Amino acid sequence: MRIDLHAHSNASDGTDSPAELVAAAVAAGLDVVALTDHDTVAGHAEAAGAVRALPAGSRLTVVPGAELSCAVDGISLHLLAYLFDPEEPEFARERDLVRTDRFRRGRAIVERCRELGAEISWEQVRRIAGAGSVGRPHIASALVEAGVVATVSDAFTADWLANGGRADVRKHETDPVTAVRLVRVAGGVPVFAHPGAVKRGRTVSDQVIADLAAAGLAGLEVDHTDHDEETRERLRGLAGELGLLVTGSSDYHGTRKTVRLGEHTTDPEVYGALLAQATGAKPIER
Ligand code: AMP
Ligand code: FE
Ligand code: FE
Ligand code: ZN
């Protein structure tokens, strides 16, 4: 079984449509892929339709999920949420709040970029984002189009869009203890995404992770491209101490990042343990 529990579609900052992501997951030989767009479930219906329409003989399970934007003590972090009830009103309202604020903040970032001499526009960013939940990677693509930087990842520096960079503007982000509770209230299973991704900015202390574990966190995403071997070992130890599950995943973003689907995977037993905790939704199977 090959299980990849973190992937983005163009419902947020990936480049594949949800149906293309399903096709890519089959082509990559995955058995399970989780659709975890930033702060939105907008891709779920299309992904479900694509899975059900797969030809007999191909097999794939899609785990509906999301990746929530959180912050504590000024440090941004991401919380993966699997198999929650998308209709549960409290959690739905919070996702709505973050998504709406992404528009205000996106405009403000474009304005900052223009003040700094980059000839990009909000219309251009909207075209790049399409119907997707607007984020810095879309603005990064606009900066690439304008010839300001060579690649999306080159836009994530102190000069431009990195956390605390010249053109960074914060958005509304949920307190992670609150987010863990909201995911559980909606019957979902919360896993801390790339908790040691230092290249993205400051990361939270072990105490914060312990507090999240006490609030109902289910696991830590340990095997992730942004973690070096030493970080993975440390996080594995911490997960053991706190009784948390350990997952691995690609964080695929289509052509917007270089990672491949299935680059890192989750143990089938861990996947089973996550499923056993979920009451809000069911995996979508062909
Ligand atoms: P946002 O949600 O708008 O704040 O943008 C965060 C997203 O930007 C993350 O989910 C990643 O997809 C991307 N990102 C953050 N840091 C980096 C980085 N250093 N290099 C490339 N992409 C990044
Ligand atoms: Fe992203
Ligand atoms: Fe993330
Ligand atoms: Zn992600």
Task: Report the atom number in ligand 1 closest to the C-alpha of 39.
Answer: 2
**Do 140 and 161 contact (CB within 8 A), yes or no?**
yes
Task: Report the atom number in ligand 1 closest to the C-alpha of 13.
Answer: 12
- Please state the pTM of the whole predicted model: 0.97
Task: Report the atom number in ligand 1 closest to the C-alpha of 102.
Answer: 3
Pocket test for ligand 1, best of 13, 16, 125 (most atoms within 8 A of CB): 13
Residue 186 CA, ligand 2 centroid: distance in Å: 23
Task: Report the atom number in ligand 1 closest to the C-alpha of 137.
Answer: 8
Residue 168 CA, ligand 2 centroid: distance in Å: 15
Residue 47 CA, ligand 4 centroid: distance in Å: 17
Residue 128 CA to residue 149 CA, distance in Å, equals 16
Ligand 1 contacts (CB < 6 A) are 13, 38, 69, 135-137, 153, 156, 199-200, 253
pLDDT in tens, the chain (286 residues): 999 999 999 999 999 999 999 999 999 999 999 999 999 999 999 999 999 999 988 999 999 999 999 999 999 999 999 999 999 999 999 999 999 999 999 999 999 999 999 999 999 999 999 999 999 999 999 999 999 999 999 999 999 999 999 999 999 999 999 999 999 999 999 999 999 999 999 999 999 999 999 999 999 999 999 999 999 999 999 999 999 999 999 999 999 999 999 999 999 999 999 999 999 999 999 8
